[in-house]
């Protein structure tokens, strides 16, 4: 059962995790089409779902929420739709930055800054600077982000460090490589959620999701609410995480 509005889960329950949830917010276009509305209104409804989810996550014991806002591939969409999505980023920050600051939310934007419109880059930098010292909750928005691009960028950073004489090739290990990704410094990913019923992760957090639990939910993103997030949390808690090892049930069966 989800906690009542304004309440948090008990500490013992929160300790079960997940600490870090990532969401592929899928289904805005289908939500709008089903209602005979333009796709832009689906995206606007999706922003409201994001606000609900950000508000609900800390109450469920989640410390970090990472959402897929705009991928490196989304530039291929119609110009009008891309412009609308950029405008929604600006509107979300302008309308919610003060509230996020008051509530102790740190906002972090993941992805390439190169190629972003100047006004959007300025909004991003202002929001990150304003919330930099907040530590109650971490909200990461992947914007102009692609996991393969992030891996390539990390590899280039290390190669450049080797070229500059700052690193040796044999110093590269998983920890070092992870520190070069744009998600460095955040908590390990526990669960990756995708809405709308699709069953793929679409170039999102490929490195980070290596041992994350995958949860696919048959709800269009604009309809997402606290009850759906609670369902994802419950699904995570029902699973036994093995990280390549042997689970408790396997040990008991073999015993």
Which residues are known to be catalytic? 26, 74
Q: Which of 180, 110, 103, 99 is nearest to 140 (CA)?
A: 110
Greatest Cα-to-Cα distance within the chain, rounded to the nearest angstrom: 62
Q: Give the burial class of 102: count Cβ atoms within 10 A of its Cβ; 0-12 exposed, 13-18 middle, 19 or more buried.
A: exposed
Q: Which of 71, 17, 1 is nearest to 227 (CA)?
A: 1
CA separation for the pair 61, 154 (Å, rounded) = 31
Give the distance, in angstroms, between the CA of residue 248 and the centroid of all CA atoms in the same chain: 30
Q: Helix 118-131 crosses helix 79-102 at what angle (to 10 degrees)?
A: 20
Q: What is the DSSP track for 228-253?
A: HHHHHHHHHHTSPP-TTS--HHHHHH
């Amino acid at each position: 059962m989800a906690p009542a509005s304004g309440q948090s889960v008990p500490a013992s329950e929160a300790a079960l995790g997940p600490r870090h949830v990532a969401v592929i917010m899928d289904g805005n276009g289908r939500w709008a089409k089903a209602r005979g509305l333009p796709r832009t209104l689906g995206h606007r409804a999706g922003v409201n779902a994001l606000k609900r989810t950000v508000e609900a996550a800390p109450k469920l014991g989640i410390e970090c929420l990472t959402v897929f806002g705009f991928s490196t591939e989304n530039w291929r969409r119609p110009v009008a739709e891309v412009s609308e999505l950029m405008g929604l980023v600006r509107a979300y920050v302008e309308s919610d930055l003060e509230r996020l600051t008051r509530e102790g939310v740190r906002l972090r934007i993941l992805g390439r800054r190169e190629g972003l419109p100047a006004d959007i880059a300025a909004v991003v930098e202002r929001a990150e600077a304003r919330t930099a010292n907040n530590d109650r909750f971490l909200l990461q928005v992947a914007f102009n982000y692609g996991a393969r691009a992030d891996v390539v960028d990390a590899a280039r950073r290390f190669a450049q460090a080797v070229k500059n004489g700052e690193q040796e090739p044999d110093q590269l290990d998983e920890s070092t490589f992870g520190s070069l990704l744009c998600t460095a410094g955040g908590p390990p990913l526990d669960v990756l959620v995708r809405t709308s019923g699709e069953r793929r992760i679409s170039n999102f957090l490929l490195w980070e999701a290596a041992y994350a639990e995958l949860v696919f939910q048959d709800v269009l993103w604009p309809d997402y609410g606290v009850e759906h997030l609670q369902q994802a949390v419950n699904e995570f808690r029902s699973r036994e995480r093995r990280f390549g090892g042997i689970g408790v049930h396997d040990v008991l069966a073999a015993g």
